[in-house]
Each structure stands twice: as C-alpha cells, then as structure tokens.
C-alpha cells in the first residue's frame, strides 16, 4: 500500500544485545507503520535492524515500504559479517541469518538497498555516515536503545539536530 502522504520512519537500535522484549517492541512498531501505509528506513545490521527488516518481509510491501542503508556495498558487508564471526564477535549462525536476509532483499527488491557511499570497510566512520543517511531520508525516528549504545545515540542526536521527532525506548540488558 502506498499513498501520497506516506511517511518514512527510521528504525535504529542496538545489535549487540537485543532480547525478546526488544524484538517484540520493534516488530509491533514496524507492523503498525506498515499497516498505516508508511515505510521503514533501517541499516541492515543484526538486532533491531534485522527484526525491522524481517517484519517488512513478512507483513509489508518490500518494494515500496523498505529502504535499507548499508555502510558499505552489500557484497563486502556480507563478507564483513563472516569475518566478524571468525573473530568470535558474532556467531556463524548470526552471520548466515543476516546475510541471507540481505541477499533476499537484494534479490526481491534491489532498489530498496542503498550502499554506495564511497566507504570500503565497515567501521565506525561508515556506520555513522550510514546513520546520517538513514536520518536524512526519514521523517521520524524510532530508537530502541540497549545499555545506552553509542550507535543508537548517534542516530538520536542526528535526528534531534535535524528537528525530527524521536520515539525512544530504552532497555538494560546484563
């Protein structure tokens, strides 16, 4: 469903720790956004981004209701996840899940992926530049912040600086 008054909502949040409460909250918010005929802008990472994209895949129109902004080109980003798995930062299963999701979106709705910013590696600089693009290309931000995560705070700060409404949900996970 697409309408002329369509709004785009940035979905940002923690990837390192995201329990069932975070997952359920993200899915509830995204489904509401989709039912109202609006779209989701997110970053293609594990955790919150993954849950948001999964909800669009299951309940939305991928071609008109999803924009994925990646920090680097998709093929390099997928390789990056497997490198992080080999380093023990994430599990191999997590790397497989996120890359499968990204590859599915690329296959079904290639125009939904934005990944050409001139960055060649996934690092703080490319992630924060991606956050800027996400906020610039959305009307409002839903932030799901676990343990005061810096990346989520970056998105919140940018949204506030751009005078965009911020819906913030904070979590503490030990």
pLDDT digits (tens, 9 = 90+) for 23-81: 999 999 999 999 999 999 999 999 999 999 999 999 989 899 999 999 999 999 999 99
Q: In what order do the strands lie in the sheet with 8-13?
A: 113-114, 66-69, 39-42, 8-13, 140-146, 165-171
- Residue 94 pLDDT > 80: yes
Give the pLDDT confidence score for residue 34 in this predicted structure.
97
Pick from 31, 35, 115, 107: nearest CA to 68: 115
- Residue 12 pLDDT > 60: yes
Pick from 134, 166, 164: nearest CA to 45: 134
pLDDT band at 173 (very low <50, low <70, confident <90, very high): confident
Q: How do residues 106-143 score in pLDDT, each as one tens digit?
A: 999 999 999 998 899 999 999 999 999 999 999 999 99
Give the pLDDT confidence score for residue 2 in this predicted structure.
42
Give the pLDDT confidence score for residue 4 in this predicted structure.
61
Q: How do residues 148-170 score in pLDDT, each as one tens digit?
A: 889 899 999 999 999 999 999 99
Pick from 15, 26, 54: nearest CA to 169: 26
57: CB partners within 8 A, 6+ apart: 101, 104, 105
- Residue 3 pLDDT > 70: no
pTM, rounded to two decimals: 0.93
């Amino acid at each position: 469903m697409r309408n002329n008054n369509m709004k785009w909502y940035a979905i940002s949040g923690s990837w390192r720790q995201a329990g069932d409460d975070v997952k359920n909250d993200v899915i509830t918010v995204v489904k509401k956004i989709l039912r109202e005929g609006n779209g989701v802008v997110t970053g293609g990472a594990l955790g919150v981004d993954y849950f948001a994209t999964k909800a669009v895949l299951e309940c939305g129109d991928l071609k008109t209701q999803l924009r994925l902004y990646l920090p680097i080109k998709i093929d390099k980003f997928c390789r990056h996840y497997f490198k992080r798995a080999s380093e023990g930062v994430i599990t191999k299963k997590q790397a497989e899940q996120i890359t499968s999701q990204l590859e599915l979106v690329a296959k079904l709705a290639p125009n939904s992926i934005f990944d050409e910013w001139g960055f060649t590696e996934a690092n703080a600089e490319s992630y924060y530049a991606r956050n800027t693009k996400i906020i610039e290309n959305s009307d409002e931000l839903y932030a799901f912040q676990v343990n005061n995560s810096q990346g989520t705070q970056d998105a919140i700060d940018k949204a506030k600086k751009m005078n965009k409404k911020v819906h913030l949900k904070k979590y503490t996970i030990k």
